[in-house]
Structure 1
């Protein structure tokens, strides 16, 4: 068994306790709470087949190989938890309004003291998408802590102690955490059709939908990441990129570019850049070390150290860019020298793509074809206000 001098526990703690900018603590007003409900897979399927009877609906799902009992089970699990949360809030004399993906509007955000997504990280991202300033708190509850990680929600123990969590918010027993987000400004576009495409089958915030105006920031701020690349994943993405205000373009061929926040560094950014234990073991064998790939092996410890270091603080002012599957050949990239991944304060990307998209938080996309140019940057006024509990 290999024991690393730097204990993995210490590494994990250092990642979780990275410097975060905490504001002076004060209590949160909780008179009016907006609950953003998770759209379960069962809900989604029912909407798709809303014009057929229950028997036909179930037969169609079974024909597709869906496990109907499983869909109903997890739907009921979420609804029971949501009902528990609503009863707890009402017992504390809190006025509650419940919305979902199909009914959520900016007016709901404006009329609430606090936004409470109930579900997992996907529901949290949905709730955050219509909060376009750093003043309205967004605090999530994980409705299925046994099956869902819910990194963006409160710690899992508060799924069972809802009243305890609310009392902490009311008493000021917390620290503010401002999660930085990416502002996306379209500098030029290739076409007049600038309407967004919603990737989950429905529009949100229709009351504030407006045409994309060149030189103005897009309506949606990215809490996790922005991705640009060809819509068809098998097609090579031709992209020009500038970092940190440089006047020199780097011409790239790749599978797209992912630009991540610190919040998103535990998500797609980590998945793209994660170093598998198998790869580490193969490198060690090249050094005439014959490691195993077991739980406590040298290869596993080194891979864990590397992967933990990919994560950075949610309030970090930098963005992390990753060039996916960069083609390195005689003339690519041009000029040479750009790293596959790194940090930047500003990223400017120009498309030379055929049928590409710019995708924000995996939920909304814009056309990003040849000639379109976008500027990505972090502004303090765009941060999302969340909390961490002291204990």
Structure 2
């Protein structure tokens, strides 16, 4: 938790010794984004605010079972082993947060509109000066996915801090003190934080296939409605780009891009080029590519070492070298484990991607392990699919088909950065 908290605040001083020269790339991107300038640092005076609210589990179940009245829904949930009362309780917590955000913004004479994911479209986004999200990290990621203007700010409130950390949202203490947070914003007691995002360019024959929205996969009709909205802004360029079989996806990855076979038991086969290098054939359990923001999330958990592994390695080193290493010293194990895991995290404003090859395999015809490091950093990645039924998934929410012959180019571009805030603390 401590590591993730620091990373979410964008600390630029974190050591990343395992990749050597990363220190050369620690220049933050604040001055190279959009129309930002130092004079804007303490200015926040929106006239219109859009509040994107999450779809609570209770609302989700109501939508799935439209034909059931409240008593029938309760019975159905209880038979399935779900706690109806708890679903209702947490739904109420969320709605209270949503109502409080709206009420306080209106008290400040800010015109406010509340929308769900199904009405979160380009028209409403363009209408607003600022986007607030009421939910958790999933709601924040959805909100971020459709913001293409680097001058548009997004700010998240964790509506239920008892159930989620909400690393992308304002600190938990503001969930119960929304007015204080909004006052700080209006008083300029914050700093801008520009979170880098990954731009994905697809090259191939079926790059305009409709993606799958994973969050609402069970709500078929509603899911399709959301997808139509997701693709609206892309239609303008479809005719021209389809001639070239090249397409820049209309969403950017704030956390990570994952590439791999849809069936997790099947080996993922692809060719990988890092920063213009020759493509290397890779067989693995998939490829995970993260931003600095995402380095605290899935990619962190893929790479982190547990205490047991560190202890075992220390014991083996002691046995092989006969050095006086106390592999039973718990405090020493804790320090080494924390230092290694700490080095996996980098700041959200750093213009690099961290990539991880999951469970890399070798069958004798591919390069032996060690020729391609299982993780590293890059400014650009070029991946050609040799998969049978693969997906390219953005932020765990939107899945694009990525099968044999399709190429994905992943870049960090300054103008794609997402404008967020960090509140000043005493």
Query: Same fold by TM-score, threshold 0.5 exceeded?
Result: yes
Change (3 A) 1:15 1:302: farther
Q: Which range is displaced more, 93-102 or 108-117?
A: 93-102
Change (3 A) 1:10 1:146: closer
Secondary structure of 2:248's aligned partner: coil
Alpha-carbon distance, 1:309 to partner = 1.3
Alpha-carbon distance, 1:72 to partner = 1.1
CA RMSD of aligned residues (A): 2.4
Counterpart in 2 of 1:241? 272
The answer for unaligned runs of 5 or more in structure 1 is 1-7
Alpha-carbon distance, 1:385 to partner = 0.4
Following the alignment from structure 1 to structure 2, what is the Cα–Cα distance between the partners of residues 239 and 192? 17
Following the alignment from structure 1 to structure 2, what is the Cα–Cα distance between the partners of residues 11 and 360? 21
Counterpart in 1 of 2:46? 30
Secondary structure of 2:247's aligned partner: coil
Change (3 A) 1:90 1:311: same
Contact 2:362–2:368 (CA<8 Å) still a contact in 1? no
| Equivalent of residue 350 in structure 1, options 357, 361, 384 | 384
| TM-score normalised by length of structure 2 | 0.84
Contact 1:145–1:156 (CA<8 Å) still a contact in 2? yes
Change (3 A) 1:373 1:21: closer
Counterpart in 1 of 2:24? none
Following the alignment from structure 1 to structure 2, what is the Cα–Cα distance between the partners of residues 147 and 192? 37
| Equivalent of residue 280 in structure 2, options 250, 255, 260 | 250
Alpha-carbon distance, 1:197 to partner = 1.1
Secondary structure of 2:118's aligned partner: coil
Asked whether 1:86 is paired with 2:102, we answer yes
Change (3 A) 1:326 1:373: same
| Equivalent of residue 176 in structure 1, options 162, 179, 192 | 192
Following the alignment from structure 1 to structure 2, what is the Cα–Cα distance between the partners of residues 188 and 335? 29
Alpha-carbon distance, 1:137 to partner = 0.3
Counterpart in 2 of 1:328? 362
Secondary structure of 1:36's aligned partner: strand
Secondary structure of 1:304's aligned partner: helix
Following the alignment from structure 2 to structure 1, what is the Cα–Cα distance between the partners of residues 311 and 83? 39
Contact 2:207–2:247 (CA<8 Å) still a contact in 1? no
| Equivalent of residue 314 in structure 2, options 264, 268, 284 | 284
| TM-score normalised by length of structure 1 | 0.91
Deviations 1:206-263 (A, max 9, x none): 54353584323100100001111100000000110111022x1100110110010000
Following the alignment from structure 1 to structure 2, what is the Cα–Cα distance between the partners of residues 140 and 274? 27
Following the alignment from structure 1 to structure 2, what is the Cα–Cα distance between the partners of residues 115 and 61? 34
Secondary structure of 1:138's aligned partner: strand
The structure richer in helix per residue is 2
The answer for unaligned runs of 5 or more in structure 2 is 14-27, 31-36, 217-222, 320-324
Contact 2:3–2:342 (CA<8 Å) still a contact in 1? no
| Equivalent of residue 214 in structure 2, options 199, 217, 220 | 199
Matches within 5 A, 1:256-275: 256-275=286-305
Counterpart in 2 of 1:230? 261
Matches within 5 A, 1:213-224: 213=242, 214-224=245-255
Deviations 1:71-110 (A, max 9, x none): 1111111111211222211221111100111221111110
Alpha-carbon distance, 1:373 to partner = 0.6
Alpha-carbon distance, 1:11 to partner = 11
Counterpart in 1 of 2:12? 18
Alpha-carbon distance, 1:358 to partner = 0.5
Following the alignment from structure 1 to structure 2, what is the Cα–Cα distance between the partners of residues 101 and 10? 31
Secondary structure of 1:123's aligned partner: helix
Alpha-carbon distance, 1:45 to partner = 1.2
Matches within 5 A, 1:121-140: 121-140=137-156
Alpha-carbon distance, 1:290 to partner = 5.6
Following the alignment from structure 2 to structure 1, what is the Cα–Cα distance between the partners of residues 295 and 385? 24
| Equivalent of residue 348 in structure 2, options 306, 310, 314 | 314
Contact 2:29–2:414 (CA<8 Å) still a contact in 1? no
Counterpart in 2 of 1:387? 421
Following the alignment from structure 2 to structure 1, what is the Cα–Cα distance between the partners of residues 56 and 100? 17
Counterpart in 2 of 1:59? 75
Deviations 1:317-356 (A, max 9, x none): 0100000000134333379611000000000000010000
Following the alignment from structure 2 to structure 1, what is the Cα–Cα distance between the partners of residues 12 and 86? 39
Asked whether 1:47 is paired with 2:81, we answer no
Following the alignment from structure 1 to structure 2, what is the Cα–Cα distance between the partners of residues 176 and 140? 14
Following the alignment from structure 1 to structure 2, what is the Cα–Cα distance between the partners of residues 164 and 302? 39
Deviations 1:335-383 (A, max 9, x none): 9611000000000000010000010011111110111111000100100
